[in-house]
Amino acid sequence: MTDTRTDNWGRWGADDERGTLNLITDEGVLAAMQVCKTGKVYSLSLPIQQEGVPIFDYRGAPRRYSLTSASDKDPYAAFGAAPGVGSNEDMLVFASHSITHMDALSHVFTDKGIYNGFPRDEFSTAGGAPHCDIRTTGTFAGRGVLLDLPRHQGVDWLEPGQVIDSAQLEACAEAQGTEVRQGDIVLVRTGWLDFYATGESGFEQPGLGVDAVKFVDDHEIAALGADNGAIEVIPFDNGVFLAVHIALLVERGLTLMEHLKLSELAADGCHEFFLSVGALPVTGAAGSPINPVAIG
């Protein structure tokens, strides 16, 4: 199933905004349900809060503010509500790419543009992305596969800065007995969130190197997630800035999900599951926080 193409621009038409999610078929979705064995429901999102979760400074910590509460003194009394009746509500303020999130295909651009050649500078201050906003890729489901690299390599977590290549991914899949199929959603566990939890983590993170793109091409996967902050290794492989994002997101139109909480699936040894993702369909947004749901 080797693909010699180096990008998917035009592969699904000049207007395509779905990228590799086109590889998921309705039949594939039905088939994906057959892998479930326990019916256990997993949330793959970290809590959204200000502390104890990985935050990039320029994005700021996510904030919840109270909008209404019992401090409002029977706010509905004027509408005839019984004494004591009211509601608690919140305002949420956070970056679209904060904590557990999905990149829309408009997220990264190069001098050639975003995925499928849409213009580099069409993302506007007022309106955001006119093409490839999060609505076009935010809802999907299919067969999920966990590649648990730390378990395979016999460590608690991969080392910060450790480069993951195709051979390691293949070896892990084989050792697990997990076949990776066209249209799969592959989740790579590096153990980074466990290392983060120790309070010892810094700038460097383990992640995919450029060689790992071959794995994506060979298996024609539909989407890729990881428990680290950027899918790819930091510092960037060979020092090329965003090298893997450019190869996968921009050139191939591959949907990426970051900071996934994969520890429970790993603890259960659940390497195949049904996965559904419903990102917030924010018009014009280049990403969204997500809480993917896996069924074991």
Site residues (CB under 8 A) for a copy of itself, limited to 186-245: 239-242
Decide: is 106 part of the binding site for a copy of itself (CB under 8 A).
yes
Binding mask 40-79 toward a copy of itself (x if CB under 8 A, else -) reads: xxxx-xxxxx--------xxxxxxxxxxxxxxxx-xx--x
CB 65 within 8 A of CB 93: yes
Among 5, 6, 13, 92, binds a copy of itself (CB under 8 A): 92
Strand partners, 277: 140
Q: Can you give the C-alpha Rg of the chain in angstroms? A: 20
Decide: is 82 part of the binding site for a copy of itself (CB under 8 A).
yes
Measured distance CA(194)–CA(185) in Å, rounded? 22
Q: Which residue has the tokens 């078929």?
A: 25
Torsion of CA 158, 160, 166, 172, to 10 degrees: 10
Among 127, 167, 179, 269, binds a copy of itself (CB under 8 A): 127
CB 293 within 8 A of CB 112: no
Q: How many Cβ atoms are within 10 Å of 85's Cβ, its own excluded?
A: 13
Among 11, 12, 86, 161, binds a copy of itself (CB under 8 A): 86
CB closer to a copy of itself, 56 vs 175: 56
CB closer to a copy of itself, 132 vs 212: 132
Contacting a copy of itself within 129-158 (CB under 8 A)? 129, 135, 138-141
Among left, alpha and beta (phi > 0; psi -120 to 50; other), residue 32 is alpha
User: For residue 252, what are its two tokens?
Assistant: 């191939």
CB of 99 to a copy of itself, least distance (A): 9
CB of 169 to a copy of itself, least distance (A): 25
Whole-angstrom CA distances from 5 to 241, 247, 284 are 22, 12, 29
Which secondary-structure segment (H or E) carries 150? helix 149-153
Among 5, 10, 120, 167, binds a copy of itself (CB under 8 A): 120
CB of 19 to a copy of itself, least distance (A): 16
Measured distance CA(159)–CA(55) in Å, rounded? 20
Decide: is 279 part of the binding site for a copy of itself (CB under 8 A).
yes
Contacting a copy of itself within 6-25 (CB under 8 A)? 25
Decide: is 27 part of the binding site for a copy of itself (CB under 8 A).
yes
Q: Please choose, out of 90-98, 168-176, 211-219, 262-270, the segment that lies near a copy of itself by the rule CB under 8 A.
A: 90-98
Count of chain residues binding a copy of itself (CB under 8 A): 104
